[in-house]
Structure 1
């Protein structure tokens, strides 16, 4: 499976500055936003980003252990982050609207639907996310189990590139 290209952090900060200049009322984060991407390979990254851009995907979930491994603080309501495509180009600024930390089993059908992936069912959510987190955990040097804490996040699109 090919890797995503490196993230263009300079371009992401230029996008952030344009957003801050246009929306100083909401771009009040004390620190620059994190710059990330959905998925762990180009095809998945671009497919998930397309769901964000077309309005289907308005939620995401990540392992607390991923944030720790990357030295990233957990998101907070009102904070922003920049999502990049598989080429590393920043495409969209997202603003967290709802956050919850819980175990895998605590996902509900409404959250699975809001993630917008596959058929939007809780069954496909569980299947796809368990496979994804097994890959991520392996790449980080641990074995994923359903007991690992997950950040369940809903977001709005604040700005597009």
Structure 2
């Protein structure tokens, strides 16, 4: 099977610690990770275990390119202030959220990366042609939402 990759980055107007605090918080629908998810693309987020950083398990319905897929994800690696990795529990898909200090650490270069195996056959051909660009648009919207969220002046405590 072919490995696929999608990546999007932006400069976020907050420190890496603040950005990580938002991304690692799956419980707060107004100031945490759920607040940056585009509602047309992510529905029915349910926390199954944890809710803050490492060990969090959640399910979500992802809608992209006209199809919906239920996903069960686990946060299986973190480096507080820098890195959070979600792994799909049902298929080989990994999404990484990376925060890097920018402009003396007052801002953050934030990158969302997803790597996965394409489906077999003709479906996999279409997936390879379309999915990365569709996902990149969704990730760019998440990055815009993250910048809007930090511009409100909220502060998320890192745990």
Give the alignment's TM-score, normalised by structure 2.
Answer: 0.30
- Structure with more of its chain in helix, by fraction: 1
Taking structure 1 as the reference length, the TM-score comes to 0.30
